Amino acid sequence: MNDADTSRADPHDEEGVALRARVDEFVRTRVMPREGDLDEGGAHAAAALRDLRGQARREGLWALPLPAELGGGGADFRSYATWAEVEGASDHGPAALGSASLLDVTMLARHAGPRVRRECLVPLVAGELRACYAMTEPDLPGTDPLLTATRAEHRPDGGWRLTGRKWFTSGAADADLVTVLARTDGGPGDRTGLSLLVVPTAAPGFRVVRELPVCGVGGQYEIELDGVSVPADHLVGARGAALAVAGERLRIGRTLRCLRWLGQAQRAFDLLCERAATRAGSRGPLAGHQLIQQHVFDALLALRGARALVHQAVERIASGADARGEVGLAKVATARMLQQVADSAIQVHGAAGLGPDTPLPALFRTGRAARLLDGPDELHITTVARAVLRGYPGGDATSG
């Protein structure tokens, strides 16, 4: 049994099932074989990505969850969730299929001013512009944006002068635009003094300081903003409204990550089962060993449980309901599950699971990083538990 059979695609929606199968086939047969090229970075990786994007366009698979009026496929969030898992089975799937810009396009379409929407949205959907998001800062806890030290000073001409540093900014070296969280009013702890601004990376004063490899793999960067001039109409949302916009982005972003982590965990689970079914020693096939069966059972249990939680979060977001609790549960469960399943797959592969011949080291690395990305486990545990306890007599004591 392949656990992919437990997909959330509606079995009565033949078009949706067929689309999921097409995306799955594209990622498995086109993207995964070129992961080595794509991981290299530089001109070689850029050429490989351009080729894959061209194939996706020709096959009608480009930017499926982005707005149709901007050149995308127009699928809503609930529909996209039915194939986001198979798209995300490779880290490069969303970029190759044009879905990687979904968060930036959604945020700017809802909250940016007319000029930014006019100049940026269509090129973002087309893959002609690249955007990133800068929130976390060196020497400050990333889970507490109220301590943000980056400042945006209001200039006499109505624009902004931006100064500060950010780090662990994904894709900053190749980005054309970066949305920056900065303090426009008040001091540390002031909830109403934070704003979001869209900064062109070509602006004088913007600098990539260094790459920050995560467990040895690149893609994250530290950036410096040294008196960068930003036009007045590059605010995202109202002045001082950053936390509301960022919160919306984070809830959607965390859920998207969970969907993609499910796809990567499914990939690790399949490798685990294939190894157990085909590898034999002097005592017979691995699949006949109870300890191996324990690995399979525990991985399957974790995978199916996490998948259910993720799709509960999807439904809450798609219906417009408050999804904070569901997203927190899904994020912690899926991050833990990916690390667990990848670890079991490595264990069943033995030394081969540590080497370069399978994607398992990369999947395990992703699982470990997942427990910190978009807020560490501890943040979500505390937030969800406090919200639950406040519903009980005396529960207000948890706010301390």
Whether the pLDDT of residue 318 is over 80: the answer is yes
| One domain, residues 258 and 369 | yes
Whether the pLDDT of residue 11 is over 60: the answer is no
Percent of residues, the chain, with pLDDT higher than 70: 96
Whether the pLDDT of residue 5 is over 80: the answer is no
Q: How far is CA 333 from CA 110, 318, 343, 365, in A?
A: 30, 20, 15, 16
Q: Is residue 120 part of a domain?
A: no
Q: Is residue 163 part of a domain?
A: yes
CB atoms within 10 A of CB 211: 14
**pLDDT band at 268, cuts 50/70/90?**
very high
Q: Is residue 253 part of a domain?
A: yes
Does 5 or 22 have the greater pLDDT score?
22
pLDDT tens digits, 81-119: 999 999 999 999 999 999 999 999 999 999 999 999 999
pTM of the model: 0.93
Q: Is residue 216 part of a domain?
A: yes
pLDDT tens digits, 365-385: 999 999 998 889 999 999 999
| Total tally of structural domains belonging to the chain | 3
Tokens at residue 60, please?
A: 């009608």
| One domain, residues 78 and 11 | yes
pLDDT at position 304: 98
| One domain, residues 393 and 327 | yes
Q: Is residue 185 part of a domain?
A: yes
Q: Last residue of some domain: 211, 236, 261?
A: 236
pLDDT at position 2: 59
Q: What is the DSSP string of 199-263?
A: EETTSTTEEEEEE--BTTB--EEEEEEEEEEE-GGGEESSTT-HHHHHHHHHHHHHHHHHHHHHH
φ/ψ bin of 355: left (φ > 0), alpha (ψ from -120 to 50), beta (otherwise)? beta
Cα 347 to Cα 353: distance, rounded to the nearest angstrom: 7
**pLDDT band at 188, cuts 50/70/90?**
confident
| One domain, residues 394 and 250 | yes
Kindly report the CATH number assigned to the domain that includes residue 353: 1.20.140.10
pLDDT at position 1: 47
| One domain, residues 154 and 103 | no
Whether the pLDDT of residue 173 is over 50: the answer is yes
Kindly report the CATH number assigned to the domain that includes residue 154: 2.40.110.10
Q: Is residue 329 part of a domain?
A: yes
pLDDT at position 142: 76
Q: How far is CA 48 from the centre of its chain?
A: 21
Q: Is residue 164 part of a domain?
A: yes
For 28, the domain range is 3-109
| One domain, residues 141 and 77 | no
Cα 21 to Cα 288: distance, rounded to the nearest angstrom: 32
Whether the pLDDT of residue 334 is over 70: the answer is yes
| One domain, residues 219 and 300 | no
Q: What is the DSSP string of 266-315?
A: HHHHHHHHHHHHH-EETTEEGGG-HHHHHHHHHHHHHHHHHHHHHHHHHH
Q: Last residue of some domain: 214, 236, 258?
A: 236
| One domain, residues 26 and 158 | no
Q: Last residue of some domain: 236, 268, 302?
A: 236
pLDDT at position 7: 47
Q: Is residue 150 part of a domain?
A: yes
Kindly report the CATH number assigned to the domain that includes residue 29: 1.10.540.10
| One domain, residues 265 and 383 | yes
pLDDT at position 51: 97
| One domain, residues 272 and 326 | yes
Cα 261 to Cα 264: distance, rounded to the nearest angstrom: 5
| One domain, residues 284 and 385 | yes
DSSP label at residue 138: T
| One domain, residues 208 and 136 | yes
